[in-house]
Structure 1
C-alpha cells in the first residue's frame, strides 16, 4: 500500500483520538463483562472521522497512511482491545477499497466511509477451508450484468453490526479454488442470517462478536475489488500486510497500556510502600517488558517500510518479516502482560475486579496466537528461510 498524497495534520488526528479515548475507557469493562459489541465506542469513532482515516482527502477522508494506522490502533487498543481490533480490521478493508476498488465503487463508497456511515466487516473464513485466505469454495454466479453470491462464514468479526462486507468468493462455478474474487456489498444489498442457537461467550476479545453468518444477495460487477479473480494481488499488496500491521499495532498498544497502568501503580505513594523499586528482580522484569515493546515497535516500523517501498511483496525476506511480525507481536505482547501480572501480584494483577485491566488484557491477548494461527505462519516461514539463502535482513 503506497500513498503519494499530502501527509495529514498529525495534531488533528491526535486531537480526534484524544476525543474518543475516554469513551473507550468508560465502556471497556462493561463491554468485556457483557460480551457486548462496543456500540458507544464505535459511534464515537464514527463521529470523530477516524473511520475514514485511510480514505483520501479527495473523497472526504483524513488521508492517513500506515504509520497513522499504527499509532491510532495502538492508542485505541490501550483503552479497549476489542474496540481497537474492530476499528483496525475495518481500516484493513478500507485500505483494500482505496487501493483496489473500481472507480464506480470508490465514488459511491469512499465518501460514506469518510463520513463514518459505513463500518466494513471482513468475510474470509469458510467451513470447507477454515482460515486459508487465498482460496474460496462458494462461487459467484453472474446474470444480466449482476453478480450473485451465497456464502456461509463461520467467523465474521463484528458482522452483526456491520454496515457493509468485503467477501471472498470463488470467481465462478467453473473456477479453481485459487481463483478468488473479493466482493463488496452493502448490508442492504444482502440477506444476513445469524446461526440459530449461537451464543458468543469467549475467554477474551469479548466485544468483537466473531460469530457465524450466512450472506446472500446481488451486487454490480463493479463491486468486485481488484477485478475478477484478482484477490491474490489484493491480498499480497494490501490485505495481508495491512492486516498484520493492524493486528500487531493493536496488541502492542494493549501491552503498552498494561505497562503504563503498572508503572502508575508502582510509582504512586501507595505503590512505593508495597513495591520495592530498588529490587533487581522488579527492574529486570520491567526491563524485559520494555525490550519486548521496543522490539515489536521496531519490527512494525520496518514492515510498514517494506509494505510502502518494497518493489516485490513476495520477496522471501519481505514475507519473512511480515509473517514474523504477526508471530512476534502475538507472542511478546501476551508475554508482556503475563510478566506484568507477576509484577503486580494477586491483588492488582489477577483479580477480575482489580482497578488495573491486567486480567482482562491477559484473556484478550491469549487469542492473538490463534488469530490466523502462529503455527501456520511459522511453517510458511520455515520454508521461506530455506529459499532465502542470502539471509536478507533489514540492515
Structure 2
C-alpha cells in the first residue's frame, strides 16, 4: 500500500466517525477536511517545484475512492477541490500570480470551491450572464451563484464570467477570488435527500478591486475542455465507484453471515451478490480506462479537445453514475430490512441517498444530449482501445 493511500485511510477513519452526524445535520465535514489538511492532501496535485507532490489524476482518484467509503460528502468535497486545482495547475503556469497561488495552496493547504452555475442559465457552465468589469488594473465582479458547494468554508473560489460586459455569453474567463476579496450573501440553503454535507448553498457573490492578474490567462473554453471536463467526470466517478463498493461490501458481509448460520446451504442473496460484483468490476474497468486515457493524453491539446475524447468522458460519467445507483440498490435488495433500517451493521440508507445525486450532477440527460450532438459530426474509425 503506497504512502498516499495510507494517508487517505487515516483521514477516512476520522471522516467515518462523523459521517452520520454530517448527514443528519447537513453540516460541513469539518473534521474530515481538517484531517485532509493535516495529512497535506489538499496540495498533492500542485507541482513539486511549488511545494506540492505532482500527484496525477489516478492517484487523486484513489484518494476519492478511499474517502467515499467513509463519508460521501467528505469525498465529494475533496474531489471538487481537486477539480478546481486541476484548472489552476493545467492553465496557470504562465502566470506569476497563479504560480504564487500554487505555492500558497501547497504551503497553507487552501480549500478551493467553484462558482460556475448562475441564476438564469442553470447548470450550463459554458455560458455566463455575469461579467468581469475591468477598471485599470483591477476588476469588479458580481454573480448570482445558485450553487457554490461548501462556499462558506472555502479559502479560494474559482468563478466563471463573461470576459467583459459586451462579450458573448460563451466568451468566458475563470477568475480566482481569495476569501478576503469577496463577500457571500446566502440566497438559498442546501436541504437535500443526500450529499447533505457538501453544503451547496446559493450565494450572491460580490468582489471589487481585484487585481486583473487573478484572471486565468487561458479562455474558460480551453480550461473546460482540457482539464475541467475530464477531472470532473473522472473524480466524481471515483467517488461514486467508492460508494457502490462500500454498499457491496456490506452486502457481501451479510451474505457471508447467512452462510455461516446455515452451513451447507447457499444463501438466497448469493446469486444476486455475484451479479452485482460482476457489475462493480465492469464499473471499475470503465473508471480505470478513462483515467489511463486521460493521463496518456496529457500535453496533447488536440487530443484533450477532440470530439472523441469528449464523447469518452461523457460516457464515463453517464455509465458510472447509472451503474453506481443500480449497484447500491442491488446491495439493499440483498441485505433487505437490515439495510433499510438505520443503525445496523448493514445500513445502506445514507449511501443510497448520496449516490442518487450521481445522475443529477450535470444531469445525464443534458450530457447525453451533448453526446448526441457530438456524434452527429464525429468521423468514424479509430482503434479498439483509443479514445
What's the TM-score, normalizing by structure 2?
0.93
Partner of 1:50, secondary structure, is coil
TM-fit CA distance, 1:192: 1.6
Give 1:289's aligned residue: 276
User: How far off its partner does 1:353 sit?
Assistant: 2.6
Give, in whole Å, the separation in 2 of the partners of 1:344 and 1:89: 32
Match of 1:3 in 2: none
Deviation per residue, 1:233-267 (Å, 9 max, x gap): 00000011101111000000111111122223332
Would the alpha carbon gap of residues 50 and 314 (structure 1) be closer, same or farther in structure 2, given more than 3 Å must change? same
Partner of 2:254: 265
Cα shift readout 1:49-69 (whole Å, capped 9, x = no counterpart): 110121112211122001101
Cα deviation for residue 105 of structure 1 reads 2.5
Structure 2 gap segments, 5+ residues each: none
Q: Residue deviations 1:143-198, cap 9 Å, x none?
A: 12112111110011111111110000111011111100000010101112112xx4
Cα distance in 1 for partners of 2:151, 2:51 equals 25
Match of 1:5 in 2: none
1:113 aligns with one of 67, 89, 105: 105
The question of 1:356 aligning with 2:343 is answered no
State the secondary structure of the residue aligned to 1:142. Answer: strand
1:327 aligns with 2:318: yes
Q: CA RMSD in A?
A: 1.9
Contact 1:277 1:283 (C-alpha < 8 Å) held by counterparts: no
Distance 1:275 1:380 in 2: 53
Work out the number of aligned pairs and report it.
379
**Which of 192, 195, 214 lines up with 1:202 in the alignment?**
192
How do 1:1-395 and structure 2 match up within 5 A? Answer: 11-101=2-92, 102-195=94-187, 198-217=188-207, 218-227=209-218, 230-268=219-257, 272-273=260-261, 278-279=266-267, 282-310=269-297, 311=300, 312-346=303-337, 348-390=338-380, 392=382, 394-395=384-385
User: Equivalents in 2 of 1:391, 1:296: separation in Å?
Assistant: 25
Deviates most, 230-239 or 216-225: 216-225
The answer on whether the counterparts of 1:317 and 1:392 sit within 8 Å (CA) in structure 2 is: no
Stretch moving more, 301-310 or 11-20:
301-310
> 1:330 offset after TM fit, Å?
0.7
- 1:155 counterpart SS class: coil
Aligned-partner Cα distance in 1 for 2:274–2:357: 25
In structure 2, distance between residues paired with 1:350 and 1:204 = 15
Q: How far 1:271 moved relative to its partner?
A: 6.3
Q: Is the 8 A contact 2:341 2:347 kept in 1?
A: no
Mapped partners of 1:157, 1:178: distance in 2: 23
C-alpha distance in structure 2 between counterparts of 1:239 and 1:379, whole Å: 19
* CA 1:111–1:275: 2 relative to 1, 3 Å: farther
Q: Does the CA contact (< 8 Å) of 1:302 and 1:394 recur in 2?
A: no
Distance 1:60 1:120 in 2: 17
Q: What CA distance in whole angstroms lies between the structure 2 residues aligned with 1:176 and 1:138?
A: 11
Change (3 A) 1:394 1:55: farther
Moved more, 158-167 or 214-223: 214-223
Tell me how far apart the structure 2 counterparts of residues 323 and 123 of structure 1 sit (CA, whole Å): 21
Matches of 1:271 and 1:359, distance apart in 2: 24
Deviation for aligned residue 1:294: 1.7
Instruction: Check conservation: 2:83, 2:231, Cα contact below 8 A.
Output: yes
The normalised TM-score by structure 1 is 0.91
Instruction: Give the Å deviation of 1:276.
Output: 8.6
Cα 1:138–1:264, aligned 2, differ >3 Å: closer, same or farther?
A: same
Cα distance change of structure 1 residues 54 and 266 upon mapping to structure 2, 3 Å threshold: same
